[in-house]
Amino acid sequence: MEVQGVKEANRFLFDKLGSLPTQQERAALFLDFMSVKFQLHNWQEQSTDLARNSIKNNYLHFLRCWMIDSNSLSGAALKRWVESRMGITPTFHKEPIRDINSEAYFNYSVDVMKGSACTSAIQSQLDILYEYGQFELPRKYPDVNAIPLFRGTHDAKEYEVMEDLGNREQIVRLNNLVSFTSEEERAWEFGRTVWRTSVPLAKIFFYNDLLPGSILKGESEYMIIGGEYRVRRLR
């Protein structure tokens, strides 16, 4: 799965990535490429606060905001990226979203506009970020198509259950962008119910050690593209 045209439009980046032997070198190249392509290093040189913030509030800022509050303006813009690229609408943003004609969806759309206005070309930045992650994931997890991840939640009963399979297994509908962790014990810190599921590599939008030291240190968070998942409740 890929976002059409992104690799072709950024062929220099992906050709060069393929020639570098270590993940650290590739991450450094990616950060430099993004800085130059979107002029992220020139934010202090802009003449107005609006222009400075438009560049300063880049994709790294949006990722940090997500990890603090997924219902922020940045969170809305990230959910819109999933919606526009993958065709999966959100089921929650500050409140449940039952229908695209609902007031909840309208309020979410307002946050999308406000969040997107905070920066320049954020959707294009996220396109390249996703494709870079898809470049790295087969190198991190060779010879597999999916990995086990865990999610802790306090409100498991509020999720839409598509099918109850018995033996503590269900098919549930997740928000269109949702956080998981690769560490089961860490998942228990976030809720009294912990789900284990198998996530295809193609549905991983971002994971923290993709860009070591650039987001949060020591975290094992994975941002995954949501939708319907088969989950197993642990313990």
Which residues on adjacent β-strands are paired with residue 193? 153
d(CA 21, CA 92): 40
- Confidence (pTM): 0.91
Which residues on adjacent β-strands are paired with residue 151? 195
Which residues on adjacent β-strands are paired with residue 152? 194
Cα separations in angstroms, 193 against 22, 40, 77, 231 = 37, 40, 28, 11
Q: What angle do CA 148, 150, 155 make, to 5 degrees?
A: 145
Q: What is the pLDDT of residue 130?
A: 98
* Residue-by-residue pLDDT tens, the chain, 235 positions: 889 999 999 999 999 999 999 999 999 999 999 999 988 865 455 445 444 444 457 999 999 999 999 999 999 999 999 999 999 999 999 999 999 999 999 999 999 999 988 787 899 999 999 999 999 999 999 999 999 999 999 888 889 999 999 999 999 999 999 999 999 999 999 999 999 999 999 999 999 889 987 666 556 899 999 999 999 999 7
